[in-house]
Amino acid sequence: MAQNPFDRRRINGPEESFLPVFEPGQERPTTWNARCGRQSTDIRQIFLQPGLISQANGSAYIETEKTKLACAVYGPRQSKSTTYSEKGKLNIEVKFAPFSCTRRRYPLHDAEDRSLAVAIHQSIASSVRLELFPKSTIDVFITIIENDGIEGCVASGAIAASTALADAGIEMFGLVTSCSAAVRGDDIRLDPTEEETNTSDGVVVVACMPALSSITNVWQSGRITAEVTLRCMEMCQDRCIDIHSVIAHSLSSMNKAP
Amino acid sequence: MTSLSKAEKSYIQSSLLSDPPLRLDGRSLEDYRPIALETGVVPLANGSAKVCIGRPGRGGYVQEAGGVGGGTEVVAGVKLEVAGVGDGEGGGKVACTVSCSPAAYPSLSSNALDDLQSDLTILLESVLSHPSLRPNNLVIVPGKKAWAVKLDAVVFADGGNVVDCLMLACRAALWDTKVPLTKWVEYRAPRRHAAQGDVGMDVDVDEEAGGGFETKGESRATDFELTDYWDEGEVLSGRESWPVCVTLNVLSNIHFLDAKLQEEASVPLRMYVMYAFPRGKPILQTFRLIGPEVSTIDQLRGLIKRAESYARNTWTGLEAKLKDEEARRGVKAREKFYGRLG
């Protein structure tokens, strides 16, 4: 990436642009009480499309209502560092688009990028068979186009990254799916919106491989008892099985197309 | 952090998995190294603490390479700064920063050190700055000014288990923090003077901030003044709910606590479990899974339960030690005071 002709200090926007199309009406509730059109165990609908970025070895675009992100996978390619490494390196970079949040994000370095990248790395690293790629690097680039809560970004990012890795034909033990939950009192809500996370006591993000029924990442913060946390984890794991079929379906329908 | 050869790794792993399990320094799996704690070590901070886990190494790092000694050493300090309060914010933020001394990580490049620092900072920030833990006595002038808590921790030596050590030091420093007492100041033109044709403004000192909430003229308070010296003041409210961390190192079906560097490098999975016990009730404040291994929900369920009892031990020990420290420093300060007089 170092030799590309772009000036990284500028914002390289697209060449043409279109007016955004707004959803008609439907102001979202800002409190915990109301949840329009969804049960507390329901997750938002997922649109997942592999292979949208043509120059990448593998890619995926995911959209769950107001969380939208694109993921591109390059590699496995030769590591730049000269030191020998027996295992491949999985390198994940997350970038927020400056317009992705309600407040404009400063376009260059941002501290939150790294915390997200670390969380997503933890989610998918154990699924990739890195021992097959000595001396090489797999680069995963995630661009967050619209952000609706950090937890949703971590979960969707892990799903997109896993799908993109599968699209790139990189060997994995299983597909990784991920789901988040917000807790307030005894009330558990899966796949919370940003408003719900902000008014909650705490959040849990779980990533797992449903095919192997193993858990790759748990990320909990906030004031929750251990029992409720475990219940959240079970509920998320159940929901991950559904998400797994979404990924499988999108990958197989993509391969069927001529 | 340390690079271990495959042979070393498998040597450590197989001895941990043997029956009875063997560790490098002969501890049992659930033993901690000795922990030393002292509060009030930084005279210029509002609260501070120094924590050492393990023997502070004599000439540390040379021995560390041979796998002998060297503990983990962290100093944490809290500085309170006056900050403006934005619209719709409660005021009173807690901001954390972790800096790792390059002396503690001689083998890391400066980039890797930056990454490590930012990872630890993010972890601490997500635990201690969580809105559920925000102390509510940081407001100076409601809606206008509040104390911003700046918590800075410095890792001076890393002999393994740095996260537990950091959390102990941060918790002790926050516990030790004294918020200076303030009074609101209100500006108003006194009527008596105005009648005499005096156009000057008079400064009037209002009630103390704590008692001032019921006065109706909240918005009129514009500034504040300190009523006391810096070493006196009240403690942060809700200081018993800051959590402690227990790091579980998981190797197949065993787990152990307080790993040294070499042990850390040879386990595939680690869990940071942070518990708080406000009024004796266990609250899981943070849980993180670290490492390239997978787990199952049954394993996690068992380990989270076990971690609770470990955390409670650490908690009771720390609580007792902090009370001791408070008493010790009270006596010391009094003796110093009388000694000067006499």
What does the domain layout of chain A look like in residue ranges?
Answer: 47-252
Classify residue B219: in a domain, yes or no: yes
Are residues B204 and B246 located together in one domain of the fold? Answer: no
Whether residue B235 sits in one domain with residue B208: no
3-class DSSP state of A226: helix
On whether both B93 and B65 belong to a single domain, the answer is yes
Q: Does B124 touch chain A (CB under 8 A)?
A: no
Q: CB pairs below 8 Å between A and B: how many? A: 86
| Chain centroid to CA A138 | 17
Distance CA A66, CA A195 (A): 12
Q: Does residue B212 sit in the same domain as residue B297?
A: no
Is residue B91 a contact partner of residue B85, using CB atoms and an 8 Å limit?
Answer: yes
Do residues B30 and B123 both lie within one domain?
yes
Same domain, B46 and B137: yes
Q: Are B151 and B188 part of one and the same domain?
A: no
- Which position has the higher pLDDT, A8 or B281? B281
The answer on pLDDT for B213 being more than 60 is no
Residue B1 lies in a domain: no
- Which tens digits make up the pLDDT trace of A120-143? 999 999 999 999 999 999 999 999
- The values of phi and psi at residue A117, to 5°, are -60, -40
Two tokens at A120?
Answer: 């997503």
Residue B193 lies in a domain: yes
| Domain's final residue, options B192, B227, B262 | B227
Q: pTM for this structure? A: 0.83
- B253: contact with A, CB 8 A cutoff: no
Strand boundaries in chain B, DSSP class E: 35-39, 47-53, 72-84, 94-100, 139-141, 145-157, 178-179, 182-188, 202-208, 221-226, 234-235, 244-251, 254-257, 269-276, 283-290
Mean pLDDT of chain B: 82
Mutant choice from A126, A196, A213, A236 vs B, greatest count of B C-beta within 10 A: A126
Distance, CA of A12 to chain centre: 23
Chain A residue whose CA is closest to B119: A115
| B111 and B171 share one domain | yes
Q: Tell me, what's the pLDDT at B209?
A: 42
What's the pLDDT score for residue A114? Answer: 87
- CA separation for the pair B325, B329 (Å, rounded): 6
The predicted pLDDT at position A228 comes to: 93
The answer to whether position B188 is within a domain reads: yes
Same domain, B161 and B195: no
CB contacts, 8 Å: A212 with chain B: 294
Q: Apex CA A167: angle with CA A166 and CA A172, to 5°? A: 15
Is-contact A206 A98, C-beta < 8 A? no
- Please state which of the ranges A38-42, A84-88, B27-31 shows the lowest mean pLDDT: A38-42
Specify whether B158 is located in the same domain as B222: no
**Residue B61's pLDDT is what?**
45
Nearest-by-Cβ selection for A223 from B285, B293, B304: B285
CA distance B254 to B162: 21
Q: For residue range A100-112, what is the model confidence (pLDDT) as tens digits?
A: 888 787 777 666 7
Among B306, B299, B247, B305, CA closest to B274: B247
Q: Rounded to whole angstroms, how far apart are CA atoms A12 and A10?
A: 6
**Looking at the domain A47-252, which fold is it?**
Ribosomal Protein S5; domain 2 (3.30.230)
pLDDT at residue B195 tops 50: no
Q: What band does B63 get if pLDDT is binned at 50, 70 and 90? A: very low
- Which residues span the domain enclosing B309? 6-181+228-341
Query: Measuring CA to CA, which residue among B122, B297, B108, B153 is closest to residue A119?
Result: B122
Flag whether B243 is in a domain.
yes
Number of domains within chain B: 2
Looking at the domain assignment, is residue B173 inside a domain? yes
**B128 and B241 co-located in one domain:** yes
pLDDT for res A117: 92
In a domain, B62, yes or no: yes
Shared domain for B218 and B271, answered yes or no, is no
Confidence of residue A34 (pLDDT cuts 50, 70, 90): low
